[in-house]
Amino acid sequence: MIYFLRNNIITISLLGRTALVCGSSKGIGKASAFELAKLDANIILLARSESELKSLVKELPGQGKHSFLAIDISEREKLKISVQQLLSTYNKIHILVNNTGGPKGGLITEATEDEFLQTFQNHVLVSSLLANLLLSGMKEDNYGRIINIISTSVKIPLANLGVSNTIRGAMASWAKTLSNEVARFGITVNNILPGYTDTERLDVLMSNAAQKQNKTKEQIRAEWEKSVPIGRFARPEEIASAVAFLASPSASYINGINLPVDGGRTGSL
């Protein structure tokens, strides 16, 4: 295991490892990129907004070499070519964080076929494409970490998130299947299930709920926070520290799990 001393504290090191962090221009993805960078991994940020990524890449800490890929993941052929090009620069990418914007809300009876298909493509097919592109390098180095940001709806479906609940289940099942196939090569595959996390997405969800229920956003926030045993939303960094741990050598025997990081909100064992 690789540890090093920083400010007299023993820290895990990801020096020499490269991480592709999807959906990293904001929210949970951005926080994950920062946590991994603090452990000295090389970071490749990925999202659509080039201007955002251009400035973020300069702010990333650590000793790693950082870069970014501005791309819309729904363009899978373009994504495949871009990641193949990245591999010629970095040679190997050892850590993959599969993450993107959350699916649109709504009742399952009102969801269109397009909503199901697009969500399946952007979540399951993109994750599978990226994993398949990176697996051979991970195998060669006998070190790989695939971490998927999903949702607690994997354990208990959430009301008014019909398409999301359906596709989250598919993602979790894909990940578990993959974890069985690649574990013997030093590659682990795990899912993080965030609870309420203070990001732009949550802000939009609160605004929508406030409008629908004729309440203020502050009222919605108070109600939602009350449903969490810890009594508050997560900071994105609190989700990201779980990502960083799972990416590290210390998590080598954790494989195929769904880890809720939700302040205890999910009511299942």
Ligand X SMILES: NC(=O)c1ccc[n+]([C@@H]2O[C@H](COP(=O)([O-])OP(=O)(O)OC[C@H]3O[C@@H](n4cnc5c(N)ncnc54)[C@H](OP(=O)(O)O)[C@@H]3O)[C@@H](O)[C@H]2O)c1
Cα separation of the two ends of the chain: 31
Residue labelled with tokens 């809300």: 105
Strands 3-6 and 9-12: antiparallel
- In the complex, minimum distance from the CB of residue 91 to ligand X, in angstroms, rounded to a whole number: 24
Does 76 bind ligand X (CB under 6 A)? Our answer is no
- Rounded-to-integer distance, Cα 43 and Cα 226, Å: 36
Does 196 bind ligand X (CB under 6 A)? Our answer is yes
- Rounded-to-integer distance, Cα 231 and Cα 239, Å: 16
State which of positions 145-164 bind ligand X (CB under 6 A): 149, 151
Of the candidate residues 69, 187, 202, 242, the single one contacting ligand X (CB under 6 A): 202
- In the complex, minimum distance from the CB of residue 264 to ligand X, in angstroms, rounded to a whole number: 14
Of the candidate residues 179, 190, 199, 248, the single one contacting ligand X (CB under 6 A): 199
**Distance set, CA 64 to CA 7, 13, 38, 240 (Å):** 18, 11, 9, 18
- What backbone torsions phi and psi does residue 13 show, to the nearest 5 degrees? -120, 140
Does 194 bind ligand X (CB under 6 A)? Our answer is yes
Give whichever of 73 and 93 is closer to ligand X, judged by the CB atom: 73
SS3 11: strand
Give whichever of 14 and 47 is closer to ligand X, judged by the CB atom: 47
Of the candidate residues 48, 76, 92, 176, the single one contacting ligand X (CB under 6 A): 48
Does 68 bind ligand X (CB under 6 A)? Our answer is no
State which of positions 84-123 bind ligand X (CB under 6 A): 99-102
